[in-house]
Structures are given as C-alpha cells and as structure tokens.
C-alpha cells in the first residue's frame, strides 16, 4: 500500500541543485505528489517533498540524496500528523452566550419551554434542535480504506475526516460513532438505541456481506435517511463519471456492456444503481460465490476478469488488489475506472497508453463529491429515506457540473455540493408530493 512520505530536503541555492534531488527521486521510480519551499536563508532552501511510497520502494533514496554535493536530507515532516493533532473536529455554540439572559433562555429555566413543546409535538425538534443538521457517522472498523479490519478506534481518523467534510462543504454536523461489534443484529440494536440524537445515519467502512444486512435492517426500522456510503455514495459518483465518459466516447451508457470487477460493498452498490438507471448488460467478477449470487439477483451476469476485459465497453474495478488488471487486457476505446485506494487495479496513464478512451482512479472518482450533498439535501427535505430517484439526481447534478474535458468536477467546489443538495432535496420533495 502506498503511504505518503514527506521528506525535508535542503539544497544549495544555485541552478540545478533541486533538479539533482528530483532526478534521484525519479531514478527510484517514485512520483512527486507535492513540492513546497518551506524557507530560504543563508543561500540554502528547505523543501518539503511529498511522495507515495509502498513497502517495495527503495528507502536508500535518503542516503543517495544525502550524498549529493549540493543537497542534504534533513528528515521527515510530521505534516500529516500535525494536521491530525488534537483531532479534526470541535463543537462550538451556534450563538454567543454572553449575557445572563441568553444563559437563562438557552439553558435553565427557558429551555424547559422548548422541551415541553417537543414533548407535545416531536416534529418541532427539527426546528428547535440541531437534529435537522446532524448526521451520525458510524463504523465498526471492519473495512477501513484499503487497510481492512483494523478496528473501530483505528478508523476514527476517517470518521473525523468525513465529519470535517460535512462541516466544511455543506455546513452540517457529522458526529463520529464507533461500535466495537461485528455481529449485524447487535450493531443494528446499538444504532437503534442512539438514533434519536441524529437526523440521518451514515454507515461507513462496514465490511461486506454484513454491511448489506445492517443497512437493510436499519432502513426497515427507521423513518430517517440511512446510507452506507461505500455502496451508494461511491455508486453515485461512478454513475456521474460514467455518464460523462460515455457521452465523450459517443455512446449511451444504457446501450453499453458494463463490467464490474469486485463485488463487495462498492461493486454491488454500483451494479444496483446502474441497473436502476437503465443499464441492461452488466457482467461481474468476484472470487466469492455469495457475491456472484447477489450480482445475479440484481440482474447481472457472472464472468471472469478476462471475459470482462475482452467484452465490455466500460470497466469498473473495486477489488482492493493493486495491479490486478494487466495492461495487455486493455482494449482500445474502453472506459476504465480502477477505483481501489490508494493503489488502483491499473494506473490510469497505463490504461490510456494502451488505448483506453478514458481512465481514472479513486483519487479522481471520489465519493466526497456525493455524500455531503446527499445528506444535506435529504435533511433539508426531511426525507424519511434515500431513494434511487435521490441518488440519480445527485449523480446527474455532479455530471452536469464537470468541466468540459473532465469526468467529474472539483470536489472542493462548494457550488457543486450546493447543487447536489438542491437536486437531492427536489427529488425527495417530488417523491413525497
């Protein structure tokens, strides 16, 4: 697995000194993700160089940099850890509490009036508490990123990241919840015991197949939006990207033969939404017989990886297996989304060199484009659940906002998330009218 390594390197301030360092990095077969000049003084410049290095990378790189006559390896940066120090979240009051009168209104005795009003009409909680802008971000840590079952506590930084994106991109509260249990029924019962604190439930990084049972049971028992983001958030962004890729390639997605390699939570979520959108021919590959049976229940047909690469116009991979798709399998004109993070099944540049019409990985096709607006729109509509109409509205909104030559728009553009939220709210409102 590729993990960011952030090097601090000092170079003499003269022509070619930085170039020599970059050449050493290139000779090691590494790609620079980011380069920043930190400071310059007394004829020397200190650089922060971000690389992605896996276990196979040659760590003698540091020694080779140090041997350059115009450079010195200083050490490694703690930038990532520094940005996590103390956590990525904090709770702040939504109004200034600066007088005795404010204190008496928002706490005791004034708050009693609001409590009694909600007792008499529970719907008023949406107006007079944060319920309508608060999402529980819940995990049991069984499928964290590409790291696997590392436990709920180790997954907390991811949940905090999701919550921080909710706050930053759409102005709603995400509250991380960790459940130290893998048995689906107990997980559901735990969530049911705390669900009244939240307007919606986001399930995150629950492993298949338990994730399907957990989400289905929560949807059956709750009248509020529940979404397993690994399934449906990913599917929304994939549908948006494929809509644009098919249009650029001069074909209709509904008329294309689509291959889905990997039928875990993300893969089956993608198949399900594509089928709901009108895709007719979907082939799927997985090592699990249970996953293949779920594919067939959704109307897909089982196939091998080789059959998919030979016969499909569009290929989506969500296996978590680095380099699974061999370059010689790529056919000219194919659309290939290799979405496993941090290491894709095939590097997009390799797929493009082999003739793919479009290729992307999970860094570009990322569900951060979907889940903030999905939940904001659902909460604003006070929707009792997520529907396919809402998911497809989100996908079409994302697709429409992509720059002309891109498959999806910038995930940090607040206008994108506002548009997605509006589209989801409209879809939910129309469904209830």
> Domain of 139: which CATH number?
3.40.50.10380
Band of residue 431 on the pLDDT scale cut at 50, 70, 90 = confident
Whether 347 and 376 share a structural domain: no
Band of residue 247 on the pLDDT scale cut at 50, 70, 90 = confident
91 falls within a domain: no
Q: What per-residue confidence (pLDDT) applies to 249?
A: 82
Q: Which residue of the set 2, 88, 162, 376 is catalytic?
A: 162
The model's pLDDT over 170-222, given as tens digits with 9 standing for 90+, comes to: 999 999 999 999 999 999 999 999 999 999 999 999 999 999 999 999 999 99
Whether 283 and 378 share a structural domain: no
As a whole number, mean pLDDT of residues 397-415 equals 94
Band of residue 78 on the pLDDT scale cut at 50, 70, 90 = confident
As a whole number, mean pLDDT of residues 105-112 equals 93
- 24 is in which domain, residue-wise? 3-84
Band of residue 56 on the pLDDT scale cut at 50, 70, 90 = low
Whether 176 and 79 share a structural domain: no
Count of domains observed in the chain: 4
Q: What per-residue confidence (pLDDT) applies to 121?
A: 97
For the record, the structure tokens of 123 come out as 């719907």
108 falls within a domain: no
Q: Which residue of the set 107, 196, 363, 430 is catalytic?
A: 107
Q: What per-residue confidence (pLDDT) applies to 52?
A: 81
Question: Is 162 among the residues known to form the active site?
Answer: yes
Sheet holding 226-228, edge to edge: 173-178, 134-139, 200-203, 226-228
Whether 70 and 154 share a structural domain: no
Band of residue 415 on the pLDDT scale cut at 50, 70, 90 = very high
Closest by Cα among 305, 249, 303, 262 to 281: 303
94 falls within a domain: no
Q: What per-residue confidence (pLDDT) applies to 392?
A: 97
* CA gap 310, 257 in Å, rounded: 11
Whether 285 and 320 share a structural domain: yes
Q: What per-residue confidence (pLDDT) applies to 348?
A: 94
| pLDDT exceeds 80 at position 54 | no
Question: Is 62 among the residues known to form the active site?
Answer: no
* CA gap 408, 406 in Å, rounded: 6
Query: 155, 130 in Cβ contact below 8 A?
Result: no
95 falls within a domain: no
b/e 170-179 (16+ beta carbons within 10 angstroms → b):
bebbbbbbbb
Whether 196 and 276 share a structural domain: no
Whether 259 and 374 share a structural domain: no
Burial tier of 199 (Cβ tally within 10 Å: 0-12, 13-18, 19+): buried
* Beta bridge mates, 138: 177, 203
Most confident by average pLDDT, 33-37, 58-62, 373-377: 373-377
Burial tier of 120 (Cβ tally within 10 Å: 0-12, 13-18, 19+): exposed
This prediction has a pTM of 0.89
Please state the three-class secondary structure of the chain as a single string: CCEEEEEEEEEECCCCHHHHHHHHHHHCCCCEEEEEEEEEECCEEEEEEEEEECCCCCCCHHHHHHCCCCEEEEEECCHHHHHHCCCCCCCCCCCCCCCHHHHHHHCCCCHHHHHHHHHHCHHHHHHHCCHHHEEEEEECCCCECCCECCCHHHHHHHHHHHHHHHHHHHCCEEEEEECCCCCHHHHHHHHHHHHHHCCEEEECCCCCCHHHHHHHHHHHHCCCCEEEHHHHHHHHHHHHHHHHHHHHCCCCHHHCEEEEECCCHHHHHHHHHHHHHCCCEEEEECCCHHHHHHHHHCCCEECCHHHHHHHCCEEEECCCCCCCCCHHHCCCCCEEEECCCCCCCCCHHHHHHCCCCEEEECCCCCHHHCHHHHHHHHHHCCCCCCCHHHHHHHHHHHHHCCCCCCCCCCCCCHHHHHHHHHHHHHHHHHHHC
- % of the chain surpassing 90 pLDDT: 82
Whether 372 and 356 share a structural domain: no
Sign of the C-alpha dihedral, residues 271, 365, 361, 265? negative
Closest by Cα among 374, 365, 132 to 232: 374
Whether 320 and 426 share a structural domain: no
92 falls within a domain: no
Band of residue 57 on the pLDDT scale cut at 50, 70, 90 = low
Does 58 or 189 have the greater pLDDT score? 189
Does 29 or 428 have the greater pLDDT score? 428
Whether 135 and 219 share a structural domain: yes
Domain termination site, one of 184, 201, 224: 224
For the record, the structure tokens of 300 come out as 């897909």
Q: What per-residue confidence (pLDDT) applies to 147?
A: 85
Domain termination site, one of 224, 244, 263: 224
> What is the chain's mean pLDDT, rounded?
93
Whether 358 and 240 share a structural domain: yes
Domain termination site, one of 301, 328, 362: 362
116 falls within a domain: no
CATH number of the domain enclosing 343: 3.40.50.720
25 falls within a domain: yes
106 falls within a domain: no
* CA gap 388, 232 in Å, rounded: 9
Burial tier of 113 (Cβ tally within 10 Å: 0-12, 13-18, 19+): exposed
CATH number of the domain enclosing 37: 3.30.70.260
* CA gap 334, 332 in Å, rounded: 6
Whether 353 and 422 share a structural domain: no
- % of the chain surpassing 70 pLDDT: 98
């Amino acid at each position: 697995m590729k993990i960011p390594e952030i090097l601090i390197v000092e170079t003499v301030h003269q022509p070619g000194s930085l170039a020599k360092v970059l050449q050493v990095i290139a000779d090691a077969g590494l790609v620079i993700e980011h380069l920043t000049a930190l400071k310059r003084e007394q004829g020397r410049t200190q650089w922060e160089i971000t690389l992605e290095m896996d276990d196979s990378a040659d760590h003698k790189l540091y020694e080779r940099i140090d041997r350059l006559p115009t450079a010195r390896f200083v050490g490694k940066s703690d930038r990532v850890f520094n940005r996590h120090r103390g956590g990525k979240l904090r709770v702040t009051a939504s109004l200034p509490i600066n007088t005795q009168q404010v204190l008496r209104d928002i706490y005791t005795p004034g708050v009693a009036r609001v409590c009694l009003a909600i007792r008499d009409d529970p719907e008023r909680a949406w107006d007079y508490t944060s319920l309508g802008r608060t999402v529980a971000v819940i995990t049991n840590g069984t499928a964290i990123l590409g790291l696997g079952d590392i436990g709920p506590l180790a997954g907390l930084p991811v949940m905090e990241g999701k919550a921080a994106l909710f706050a930053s991109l759409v102005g709603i509260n995400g509250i991380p919840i960790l459940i130290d249990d893998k048995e689906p029924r107990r997980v559901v019962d735990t969530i049911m015991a705390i669900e009244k604190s939240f307007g919606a439930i986001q399930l995150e990084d629950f492993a298949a197949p338990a994730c399907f049972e957990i989400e289905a049971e929560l949807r059956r028992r709750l009248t509020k939006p529940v979404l397993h983001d690994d399934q449906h958030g990913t599917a929304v962004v994939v549908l948006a990207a494929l809509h644009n890729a098919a249009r650029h390639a001069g074909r209709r997605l509904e008329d294309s033969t689509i291959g889905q390699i990997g039928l875990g939570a993300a893969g089956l979520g993608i198949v399900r939404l594509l089928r709901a959108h009108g895709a007719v021919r979907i082939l799927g590959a997985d090592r699990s017989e249970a996953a293949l049976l779920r594919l067939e229940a959704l109307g897909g047909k089982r196939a091998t990886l080789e059959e998919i690469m030979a016969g499909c116009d569009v290929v989506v991979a969500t296996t978590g297996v680095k380099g699974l798709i061999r370059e010689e399998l790529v056919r000219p004109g194919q659309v290939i989304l290799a979405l496993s993070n941090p290491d894709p099944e095939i590097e997009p540049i390799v797929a493009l060199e082999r003739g793919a019409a479009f290729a992307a990985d999970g860094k570009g096709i990322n569900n951060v484009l979907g889940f903030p607006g999905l939940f904001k729109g659902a909460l604003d509509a006070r929707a009792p659940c997520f529907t396919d109409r809402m998911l497809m509205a989100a996908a079409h909104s994302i697709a429409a906002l992509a720059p002309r030559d891109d498959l999806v728009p910038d995930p940090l553009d607040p206008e994108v998330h506002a548009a997605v939220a509006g589209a989801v709210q409209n879809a939910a409102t129309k469904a209830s009218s």
